[in-house]
Structure 1
Amino acid sequence: MKQYIKLLKNEYVLRRLSTIQLISYFGAWFSNVAIYTLLIEMDVSAGVIALVAALHFLPGVLQAPVSGTFIDRLAPKKLMLWLLSIEIVSTLSLLMVQDISLLWLLYIIIFIRMGAASFYFTAEMSLLPRILHHDHLKQANEIHSVIWSFSYTVGMAVSGFVVYALGVKAAFVLDALLFFIGFLLLFNVKIDVIVTQSGESVIRMMKKTFTYLKENKHVLHLMFVHSLVGLTSFDAVVALMVDRYYSAVIATSLALGLMHSSRAVGLVFGPVFLGKWINDKRLLYLFLFQGIALFVWSYVMEYFYLSLLASVFVGFFTTTLWSYSYTLIQHKTDKEYYGRIVAYNDMIFLTVASVTSLLTGELAKIGFSLQSIVAYMAAAFFMSSIYYAWIYKRYIRG
């Protein structure tokens, strides 16, 4: 933890960006819990819940081919301010969704909102290698993931009580207010990054990126490795668990908040304990441990308190898996391609996450138990460890 504090003290831009992350991520969970609470109160089908979960990822998939190109061509601060503005407006627009007849509007708003959020994330992650020394990237990614996990922990817990006490609309307003504070913080920060205007067309830059990946297969494989962490997109699973097992025991919004926040406890503390231990070779063990954690969770899922405890174990390995695999990609990518590679990497990651959400809903609809669905996720992580072992032996070792 001391190295994180030292880096934040020495890097003003990183410190300001991290503060914005903390505020905006914290607020985002108010809307998240409010949306799923609204859906459960509308008594929608498992397919609708899965679709809404998938819509949190699909925009990033569809826009990735062009977003990375724009990131490599535009001033990062101006772009990020525009994206935060879109998030503010779209969050307030959620207030218009009041009954099941407006589900179509909810889909559109979520798509626009998450498209802006995904674009912002890609712009920020491609900015970090431009403002930080190579040796500090791993710590910066870990700081990012710790902030995300901390805001997830506290945000989910608090938002559950806020939605329960004040209602869905209050959660949307609070979320928009926090995004506005983030906008003001970003507006007042100076980011000295020179953007090279190559004069190449968007299509030409996209073609060059594909050529680059073809010539640097290790980067493409690392992108696939990172995307496998997208299997931990549990929004649909948790919403269905609450609906099937816990709604008779505890209020829906409270159950959603507690389930997500308990997993986030593991997400916060994982990198604190694993940060110094993890290296290129040991990454495959994290895939194995993640699979074991998921098997345990699937076994105790029906029991609310045991499920809360198991979800802490599930989250413990996820953050480090995400941050270290992301760092490997940043280290192995040439500076000229940062924006585009990060965008395509996010596209693959979000594709896995959205497919996971959609499959969860479809499998639940045709009769698969939630326990078996999570067990399949666990098996996928065991297979992922074998895949990474091959990559390490062929491309990374030595």
Structure 2
Amino acid sequence: MEMQQDVVKLQKEVGFFELLKNNPTFRRLWMGLAISLLGEWFSTVALFVLIYTLTGSELGIGLLFVIRMFSMAFPQIFTGMLADRFSRKRIMVWANILSSIAVLSLLTVNDESEVWLIYFISALLMALHAVFIPAESASIPNITKENELLTANALNSATWSAALCLGASIGGFVVSVYGVEMAFIINALCFLAGAFMYSTITIPQEPFQPKPGGFWANTGGNIVEGFQIILSKPHVSRIVTAKALWAVFGGGLVYMLVLIGDEIGVGDLAAGIGILFAARGLGTGLGPIFARYVFKNRNLWPFLLGSLV
């Protein structure tokens, strides 16, 4: 009986505050992520405002969306292997440092002839983010216990939304009052603060064991294997399909939020984008917390996911 009670106790999931209190390594990782994400939304609002100010074109905003999303999505096909081959801690630290330098280079943009630089730096920032994401995600199981992992992932998801809500709203105000330059400087400082937090933690990591067959087996082969798993497991393919559809149509929604930011009667474009993005962040932030405590029967999650899509 005592053994059964110990097993139940071991498997009981911890809460958000308990996780942050009792796991200092994850706490520092989470703090670095929260600070970095907060700053990213400052520059995101600033980028949209800067593009529209210089070009006066909705097409310019749409092109920025396409470049940002493609520059993050395509590299992730390959960047996952970096998190297996190299130190995840160093990847996160250097991704933040290089992102800080890239953001500061946006301060050199002065007129429409330099719009190409905005697109280039935006692509670079998203590519660095694509390098960062697998390293950060793969680090969480290394620094959390089994009964902490789900809570850690849920907290990270909620943190992204909270950073969107706070970063976009405050960032919109900063851009509106102090200009895009101040937003870029704040973002750069946040990246450096995040890099410092990551540098203070130790992340256990097993040595990489390459598959026989060279580069293709360890890169393209993994991609093919991933698609085979998706296609062979109906429950996985349904979730992936739902996620893809949500992302496609959700991208159009985000684009519309930027376009109508100047028309909601709250001031200028920066303030409008900030408020609309903040509302989006509030909704996506409350969602995981609400779902965690209301939809406790995981067998119903696939039906819930389908209904939401």
Q: TM-score range by the shorter chain?
A: 0.7 to 0.9
Paired with 1:223 and 1:129, the residues of 2 have a C-alpha distance of: 22
Deviations 1:132-161, CA, capped at 9 Å, x for gaps: 334433221210011111111111111111
Q: 1:211 is matched with which residue: 221, 225, 247?
A: 225
Deviation at 1:221, TM superposition (A): 4.5
Q: Which moved more, 1:202-211 or 1:27-36?
A: 202-211
Structure-to-structure mapping, 1:290-309, within 5 angstroms: 290=308
Note if 1:240 corresponds to 2:259: yes
Alignment-derived partner of residue 271 in structure 1: 288
CA change 1:163–1:26 in 2 (3 A) is: same
For the residue of structure 2 that corresponds to 1:256, the secondary structure is: helix
Cα distance in 2 for residues equivalent to 1:18 and 1:229 = 26
Task: Please tell me the residue identity of whatever aligns with 2:254.
Answer: D
Q: Once the 2 structures are TM-superposed, how far is the Cα of residue 128 of structure 1 from its aligned partner?
A: 1.9
Q: In the superposition, relative to structure 1, how do residues 228 and 142 fare at CA in structure 2: closer, same or farther (>3 Å)?
A: farther
The residue aligned with 1:170 is 182
Structural mapping, 1:105-124, within 5 Å: 105-124=117-136
Q: Tell me the secondary structure at the aligned position of residue 74 of structure 2.
A: helix
1:160 alignment partner, SS class: helix
Equivalent residue runs for 1:1-398 within 5 Å: 3-198=15-210, 200=212, 201-206=214-219, 207-211=221-225, 213-215=227-229, 217-218=232-233, 219-230=236-247, 231-233=249-251, 234-243=253-262, 245-246=263-264, 250-278=267-295, 279-288=298-307, 290=308, 381=309
RMSD between aligned alpha carbons? 2.2
How far does residue 249 in structure 1 lie from its aligned partner after superposition?
A: 5.8
* Shift, 1:40, TM fit: 2.3
Which residue does 1:372 correspond to in 2?
none
Corresponding residue for 1:364?
A: none
SS of aligned partner of 1:191: coil
Compared with structure 1, are the counterparts of its residues 33 and 199 closer, same or farther at alpha carbon in structure 2 (3 Å cutoff)?
same
Report the CA distance between 1:220 and its aligned residue: 4.8
Amino acid at match of 2:217: R
1:73 to 1:87, Cα distance in 2 relative to 1, 3 A: same
The structural deviation recorded for 1:15 is 1.1
Report if the CA contact (8 A) 1:53-1:235 is conserved: no
Matched to 2:250, the amino acid is T
2:139 and 2:203 in contact (8 A); partners too: no
- Tell me how far 1:175 sits from its aligned partner: 0.6
Residues 203 and 187 of structure 1, relative CA distance in 2, 3 Å threshold: same
Mark the CA change 1:227 to 1:128 in structure 2 (over 3 Å): closer, same or farther. Answer: farther
Contact 1:88 1:179 in 2 (8 A): yes
Q: Which residue of 2 aligns with 1:361?
A: none
| Cα distance change of structure 1 residues 102 and 235 upon mapping to structure 2, 3 Å threshold | farther
Contact 2:32 2:197 in 1 (8 A): yes
Q: Is the 8 A contact 1:23 1:182 kept in 2?
A: yes
Judge conservation of contact 2:37–2:160 (CA < 8 Å) in 1. yes
Aligned partners of 1:69 and 1:202 also within 8 Å: no
Amino acid at match of 1:272: I
Partners of 2:133 and 2:117 in 1: CA distance: 24
Amino acid of the structure 2 residue aligned with 1:235: V
Tell me how far apart the structure 2 counterparts of residues 221 and 270 of structure 1 sit (CA, whole Å).
21
1:89-127 per-residue CA deviation (whole Å, 9 max, x = no partner) reads 111111112222111111110000111012201211122
Structure 1 residue 287 displacement after superposition: 4.3
* Residues 14 and 148 in structure 2, CA contact (< 8 A), matched pair in contact too: no
Post-superposition offset of 1:213:
4.0
CA distance in 2, matches of 1:280, 1:51: 41
Per-residue CA deviation, residues 257-296 of structure 1 (Å, 9 max, x unaligned), is 11111222222222222212332423433443x4xxxxxx
With over 3 angstroms needed to count, the CA separation of the structure-2 counterparts of 1:281 and 1:73, relative to structure 1, is same
Structure 1 residue matching 2:48: 3-state secondary structure: helix
- Percent of matched pairs sharing the same residue: 26
Cα distance in 2 between the residues matched to 1:28 and 1:249:
23
